[in-house]
Amino acid sequence: MLCVLLPVSLAYAEKWHFPDVERIVAVGDVHGAYDGLIATLQGAGVIDDKLAWSGGKTHLVFTGDLLDRGAKSRDVMDLVMRLEKEALRDGGRVHLVLGNHEVMNLTGDLRYVANAEYIAFLDMEKRKERRRWYKRFKNGTPEDMDESTVLSQFNKKAPPGFFGHRRAFRHDGIYGKWLLEKPFIVVVNETAFVHGGLPAFVAEYGLEGPNVTLKQHLNEYVVTRDYLADNDVMSPIDRFKEIPKMFAGLANAGQIPDEYLDEVQTAIDLSESPLHWGAGPTWYRGTAMCNQLVEGDALNRVFRRIGASRVAMGHTPTVTRVVQQRMNGQVVEIDTGMLKSNYKGSGNALVIEGDALSVVNEDGRKDLSPIDHPLRVGHESLAISDAAMADILANGSIADTNSGGATWRIVTVTKGEHTVSAYFRELQGAEEGVILELAAYRLDRLLGLDMIPATVRRVIGDRQGIMQFIPEDAITELHRVASGRGKEMYCSREKQVAVMHVFDALINNQGRTPLSMLYSPDDWLLILIGHDTSFSTEVERPEYLRDIELTVGDQWRAALAKLDDDTLRTALGGVLDDARLAALARRRDALINKE
């Protein structure tokens, strides 16, 4: 469901654009880590030792997820609310864009609220209110259930402070009213700030899409939910994900009074809004997870639509737990896992002054800069760089584990504290100057495709061969489909496959099958293997691509244009012969010139 966009006046739209700001400080997911936040803000010079605003005209941006998981979420919100007022008095601003956890608390999706967070709202919980909802809860339990069991189940669903928490997050509650005024995206100078990422929804509708339409969805849902609870049609205990099924069952049983049927249907319809799933800006991870060839064109369409050239975002904790950048600095990832008990990270603030980006951390270091997003094809969760993985494969000690197949066999490779699985294939004499899998790997890295795992030459005893990393938990596309896994990939499967098609057309890969498409379930990013039938001297597309429309956008053309003949000869001359290099160049030119 998607409501029709309302007209937005220029004056209203300007609430989301803030030009000519001299200094910006941005902080990612806090998750109740109050102490880490205080140290980070003091390090960035926006609050003093008395926790008062000291940032002058600085714009301080929070990219959502102030709350959930951490015990001091209420303290964090109180601090941000106070700093908003103090900053305005000094000519500065504090911006909060909504994250998925703010939305979840507003809509009753309370999966990640810690009991300590509920306890912080005991002062707002009324005994009469708790007794009311306990009575309703008890009436819905089996008659033969003893009182102690009923009470235990009730307290598990509604810990002490629960109803104070729910009161505070109503549409007219102290935090609910405050949060419902916040946007999903703001643009300060030319940097967009958002929680999850910038999906196609924003390219299509601009800032009005999230900041008007999705806000309408959110406001209407919260108001409707509060109305239904006030009239005893539902309970604050009823969780967001359970409500559509619950209401459908009650409606089928004729247990919803006619005067509330419209509101019940509204709640069901609004539960399907992009607000709550990966197409919306609070959940979208494509900006953080997809590589530039997959996501770059889509991101640039968003930038053109909203008047930005860079995005800073949270939601996806950086694997290094420091501020990272990708896509040539167009994307800055600032969720560094501030809540140590859950994420083992620390507080970091991104500082933007003119064209300069720097980082301040909670330990007081101010000489830091965003680091490049590490390349880890097939091993995103391992603290091993692509270069380190190649070194392990080339120089680690080897043990056979099983035969693996007629051509490749699986081995384990150990160097230092790291042990990985890999495929080894012995080279035949005729292959000495033409090593197709190694050529595919090198070309992948030249393009920035980042889909082929680390591949190196390796000698085992008297056997010349190639070694290729393979994740132990990798599953093939064939197995993924059969098992039903990976249906909601963070980086769209359709986008990844479209990029694979262009690459296969470039290398004339005749052998692509679902068995040569792998995924590691820790990130569901596509991993390509099996290029032994690639790099022919033909220019025509592989048979499997003859009827597929290739998507060759600006990012692909820019990457291909960098592959001039000298670059190809230098990088691939030792693994492809002249005839294959010439054919590769002709296919490159055909793709660049594709209409």
Inter-helix orientation angle 554-561/493-507, to 10°: 30
| CA–CA separation, 218 and 37 (whole Å) | 27
State the virtual CA torsion across 374, 378, 382, 386 in degrees, nearest 10.
-50
pLDDT of residue 405: 54
Handedness of CA 498, 560, 307, 370 (dihedral sign): positive
Q: How many CA atoms lie within 13 A of 498 on its CB side?
A: 18
Burial of 500 (0-12, 13-18, 19+ CB in 10 A): buried
pLDDT string in tens for the chain (595-residue length): 334 333 343 444 568 999 999 999 999 999 999 999 999 999 999 999 999 999 999 999 999 999 999 999 999 999 999 999 999 999 999 999 999 999 999 999 999 999 999 999 999 999 999 999 999 999 989 988 999 999 999 999 999 999 999 999 999 999 999 999 999 999 999 999 999 999 999 999 999 999 999 999 999 999 999 999 999 999 999 999 999 999 999 988 899 999 999 999 999 999 999 999 989 999 999 999 999 999 999 999 999 999 999 999 999 999 999 999 999 999 999 999 999 999 999 999 999 999 999 999 999 999 899 999 998 888 766 678 889 999 999 999 988 766 555 567 888 999 999 899 899 988 876 566 899 999 999 999 999 999 999 999 998 888 888 999 998 889 999 999 999 998 889 999 999 999 999 999 999 999 999 999 999 888 899 999 999 999 999 988 999 999 999 999 999 999 999 999 999 999 999 999 999 999 999 999 999 998 7
Task: Give the up-direction half-sphere exposure of residue 148: CA atoms within 13 A in the CB hemisphere.
Answer: 0
Q: Which of 497, 590, 479, 491 has its CA nearest to residue 538?
A: 590
| Predicted local distance difference test score (pLDDT) of residue 402 | 61
What distance in Å separates the CA atoms of residue 77 and residue 114, rounded to the nearest whole number?
Answer: 15
Q: Is 93 helix (H, G, I), strand (E, B) or coil?
A: strand
Residue with tokens 């306990």: 134
Residues near 354 by Cβ (< 8 Å), separated by ≥ 6? 22
Active-site residue, from 101, 217, 276, 373: 101
CA 124 remoteness from chain centre: 35
Those residues with Cβ within 8 angstroms of residue 87's Cβ, 6 or more apart along the chain or in another chain: 53, 55, 58, 60, 93, 94
CA separation for the pair 434, 338 (Å, rounded): 49
Q: How far is CA 166 from CA 106, 162, 343, 521, 587, in A?
A: 8, 6, 26, 36, 61
Q: DSSP letters along 436-481, please?
A: HHHHHHHHHHHHT---SPPEEEEEETTEEEEEEE--TT-EEHHHHH
Residue 595 and residue 584: Cα distance in Å, rounded?
19
Q: What is d(CA 316, CA 323) in angstroms, rounded to the nearest whole number?
A: 11
For the stretch 233-254, what's the b/e string if a residue is b when 16 or more beta carbons lie within 10 angstroms of its beta carbon? bbbbbbebeebbebbeeeeeee
Cα 454 to the chain's mean position, in Å? 24
Residue type, 378: G
Helix (H, G, I), strand (E, B) or coil at 595: coil
Rounded Cα distance between 111 and 88, Å, is 35
Q: What is the pTM of this model?
A: 0.93
Query: How far is the C-alpha of 576 from the C-alpha of 563, rounded, in Å?
Result: 15
pLDDT at 7: 39
Phi and psi at 394, nearest 5°, equal: -80, -30
In 45-181, alpha helices (H): 73-89, 100-107, 115-119, 127-139, 147-157, 162-168, 174-179
- DSSP letters of 220-278? HHHHHHHHHHHTTSS-TTS-GGGHHHHHHHHHHTT-S-GGGHHHHHHHHHHTTSGGGST
101 belongs to the catalytic site: yes
Q: How many CB atoms lie within 10 A of CB 23?
A: 18
Which residue bears the tokens 């291909």?
560
pLDDT score of 392? 94
CA distances from 379 to 28, 471, 472, 507 (A): 24, 7, 10, 25
